[in-house]
Each structure stands twice: as structure tokens, then as C-alpha cells.
Amino acid sequence: MLEQELRVEKKHNFSFTIIAMTAIVVFLLLTLLSYISVSYIRRLALRYNILDNPNERSSHSIPMPRGGGLAIVILVLIVSIVFVAQTQVNRSLIYIVLAAILALVGWRDDLFSLSANYRFGVQGLVAVISILGMGYFRIVRIPLLGELDLGALGIIITFFWIIGMINAYNFMDGIDGMAGGVAVVAGLGWMILSANVQNPFVFWVALAIAATALGFLGHNWPPAKIFMGDVASTFLGYSFAVLPLISADQSGDALTVGTLLMWTVIMDTFVTFLRRLVKGENVFSGHRSHLFQQLVAGGYKHGTISALYIFLTALAVLLSYEWSHGDQVAPLLIFLGLPLIWILLSIHAANLQRAATASNQ
């Protein structure tokens, strides 16, 4: 009996080693392919004048090639097709088709600047189909507070979660290195946490996102040589929105983990939206009041701010892992610590803004 158990353990260890080695090789290969592809896309963007021209809201001062995230989209979709059967096929196929549609709309927006009504219409349709095909969040488990049964309200929450994440991630593609850097760490986070739900499809999609975003960062880290573009920012926002649904639509942890890994994106977008709403501003008009934009205006470099957001995302990955493994301190740090960090950053940004205003008077 002991000898049989040893053989089973050796076989398990061997299988794990093979999977780990395969993952490392695929990660490195995708990173390299992404880096090379973005370089090629940049040359095409310059040749065909696919440029992001600066305006009053821009963080750059000269026209920049955009659409470099197309490499991320293509490579992630290829990996998704290869591993499509590694979860419920209806969910993986719906993800592939809808993510591709959003990327196509994003690419057209990069080229022709589509109307907001058209983009929101497509996003709403994508959200509805996602709910019909993947399900919705029925239960949410909140650190320190326990489980909350959402019931039918979960349908509405899931709908706005998907649309919100698509647009929130698009908003975060505002300075060099931020959207790509957060995608690397959040992708790695989903790789680690997907072991809990034993979903290989989520693991490989997350790996592809992390690897291709890392390759893209080779061209986008400050000073950027090319921008991601809506083609990838909307694609990534949708991906991070539905990875919890693909993992397990009824799991109380799924929505919480998805929220934690995207907490910087969500907080920056949600707090900015509320602040502008309270001030009576048009929340749908362009602005420069995101926290990262305020920090740029306060004198911080793009690399410093992007590194801050990357670090805060990595912190959330760590806390998510500890919480999911029963750590008693992690819920307190999640529920109180993360909001406190954001409050302190917001106060610092507001002080910078007041100092800048005073110096200009």
C-alpha cells in the first residue's frame, strides 16, 4: 500500500513539473511574440498614420502610434482557442466570440472614433449575452461580513459589472505603462488563484494576458513608443470582468476576487465618477480628474505612478491569496487597509492640486 501511494505521489509530482515547465515555456514564448508583434504594429501605425493626437486631456504632447494592444488580443485569443475545451465549452466559446467582437469595435474606434452610443450599445449587448451564456453572480462573500445572497439583483450587478469594467479599464489606459503593467500582475494573480477553482482555461487565458502584456510593456513603459489603444483596453476590461464568471458563476469568492485584482481600476473610476456627480459635472464628458491624472499634474512621472498602481495590484493579489486560504488578518486589511490607502493617496493628490493652483495665482 505504501509503495502504491509513493508511486501515485511521484506521478503527481512529475505531472506538476511538466505543467509548470510548459507554462514557463509558453509564457516566455508569448512574451517574445508579443514584443515582436508590437514592434511590427508600431511600424504599420506610423506608415498608415494610426496616431493618437494630443488634446487638452492627454498626458502626451506629441502624436503617438496606437493600437499596439492588437498583439495582446490576437495572441490571447489564439491561446483561448487552443484551450477552449478546458472548461465548459459554451462559456469559453462565448468569451472568445464576445471578446473578439469588443476588440474589433475597439480597433475601429482607434481608427475612426466611433460614437459613444454605438460603443455602449455593443457593450450592453455583450453583457446580456455573457449573462445568458455564462450566468451571473448569485452570491458574494465580503471579507469580515460573510456571504450575501444577491438573488435576482445579481443579474443587474453582473450587467453593470461587465460594462463598468470594460470602460474602467479603458479609462486607465491614460499614462505610459499603467494598463499594461496592471494587466501583467492581475493576469499572474488569476494564474495563482485559478488553482483554487481548478479551471485550466482560466489559468491559460490569465497566463496569456500576463505574458502578452509584459511583451507590450517593452514598448509602452515610459517613455512609451506606442499606446495600447481601445482594441486591447476594452478587451482586457471584458476579460477581467468575465474570468470570475468562467471560473464559477455561483461562487461567493469569484466576484470578490475579481474586484480585488482590479481594485485600483475600480476605485479610481468609481471615486472619480462619484466626485464629479456630486459637483454637478457632466460625468460623460472628458476630464482630467482621475487620481493618476492628478498625480501627473502634481509632478510625478508616468513610471512612478504606473509602478504604484502595479504595486497596489500585487498587494491585492497577495491579500486575495491569503484570504482565500483562510488567513484571519487578510479580511481586515482588505476591508479597511485598501480603502485607507486610497483615501491617503486622494488627500495627497488634492494637496498637490491645491498647491499647484496657489502657485499659479
SS3 148: strand
Angle at 191 between CA 188 and CA 197, to 5 degrees: 150
Question: How far does CA 284 lie from the centroid of its chain?
Answer: 21
Instruction: Annotate 83-103 with DSSP letters as a single string.
Output: TGGGS-HHHHHHHHHHHHHHH
Note whether residue 331 is domain-resident.
yes
* pLDDT for the residue numbered 46: 95
* pLDDT for the residue numbered 6: 45
- CB atoms < 10 A from the CB of 171, how many? 19
Burial class (CB in 10 A: 0-12, 13-18, 19+), 269: buried
Note whether residue 58 is domain-resident.
no
The rounded distance, in Å, linking the Cα atoms of 28 and 280 is: 48
* Residues facing residue 80 across a β-bridge: none
Note whether residue 235 is domain-resident.
yes
Note whether residue 117 is domain-resident.
yes
* Side chain identity at residue 268, one-letter code: D
CA dihedral 262, 107, 175, 55 (to 10 degrees): -130
Note whether residue 59 is domain-resident.
no
* pLDDT for the residue numbered 357: 72
Number of domains in the chain: 1
pLDDT per position in the chain (361 positions), as tens? 545 554 545 555 546 678 789 999 999 999 999 999 999 999 999 999 999 887 766 666 689 999 999 999 999 999 999 999 888 888 999 999 999 999 999 999 999 989 999 999 999 999 999 999 999 999 888 888 888 889 999 999 999 999 999 999 998 888 999 999 999 999 999 999 887 667 899 999 999 999 999 999 999 999 999 999 999 999 999 999 999 999 875 455 788 899 999 999 999 999 998 888 888 887 767 677 899 999 998 999 999 999 999 999 999 999 999 998 888 899 999 999 999 999 999 999 999 988 877 776 6
SS3 66: strand
The rounded distance, in Å, linking the Cα atoms of 92 and 133 is: 10
Cβ 199 vs Cβ 246: under 8 Å: yes
Domain boundaries, position 274: 2-51+64-355
Question: Whose grid coordinates read 484570504?
Answer: 323
Note whether residue 317 is domain-resident.
yes
The rounded distance, in Å, linking the Cα atoms of 234 and 172 is: 10
Note whether residue 360 is domain-resident.
no
The pTM score is 0.93
* pLDDT for the residue numbered 353: 82
SS3 49: coil
* pLDDT for the residue numbered 146: 82
* pLDDT for the residue numbered 10: 52
* pLDDT for the residue numbered 326: 86
* pLDDT for the residue numbered 20: 84
Note whether residue 361 is domain-resident.
no
